[in-house]
Structure 1
């Protein structure tokens, strides 16, 4: 994709500044009411927010409700790694 450069004026929005984005760009990149603003070394990057991702709190709730079977994890507790065979010699 070829880069496109446009002159855009900063506008005052209360105590902040903003930019007006052309509707065709918003549609082209799938922006809705929310977007992600990322600060990079090159400048500010606007990205589409993934609405399918759950917030952390909802993710934790979903994990708790999943009722996964973790009994196989108990086998790792008996793998013998708790015994440190490679101790550092005392000087």
Structure 2
């Protein structure tokens, strides 16, 4: 993988500071509007925001690994709302 190294300066944006990212890097990493910024031990990490989302398979695995106790949820299923006037079919 080719490493991109370049000096850059902070620019004033309102009351904040920002940096300009070269178009070649934005295209390479498919960055269009939003970034995810993370402070790490090595410095600041910028990446596409979509990378933070889990696929359905990853989500299912994470839920299974958590082994959470959902027995309290069973009680809410029969809390009386099933007899609510809004859930009764009209004839």
2:52 and 2:19 map into 1 onto residues whose CA distance is 27
**Residue aligning to 1:11:** 11
**Residue aligning to 1:66:** none
1:20 and 1:52 map into 2 onto residues whose CA distance is 23
Distance 1:39 1:3, change over 3 A: same
Tell which structure's C-alpha radius of gyration is larger: 1
Distance 1:4 1:52, change over 3 A: closer
4+ residue stretches of structure 1 with deviation over 6 A? none
Is there any run of 5+ residues in structure 1 with no aligned partner, and where?
A: 55-72, 75-91
Distance 1:52 1:5, change over 3 A: closer
1:26 and 1:2 map into 2 onto residues whose CA distance is 15
RMSD (Å) for aligned C-alpha atoms:
2.5
Is there any run of 5+ residues in structure 2 with no aligned partner, and where?
A: 55-69, 72-91
Paired residues, what number?
A: 56
| Displacement after TM superposition at 1:41 (Å) | 0.9
| Bigger fraction of residues in helix | 2
Q: TM-score, normalised by structure 2?
A: 0.53
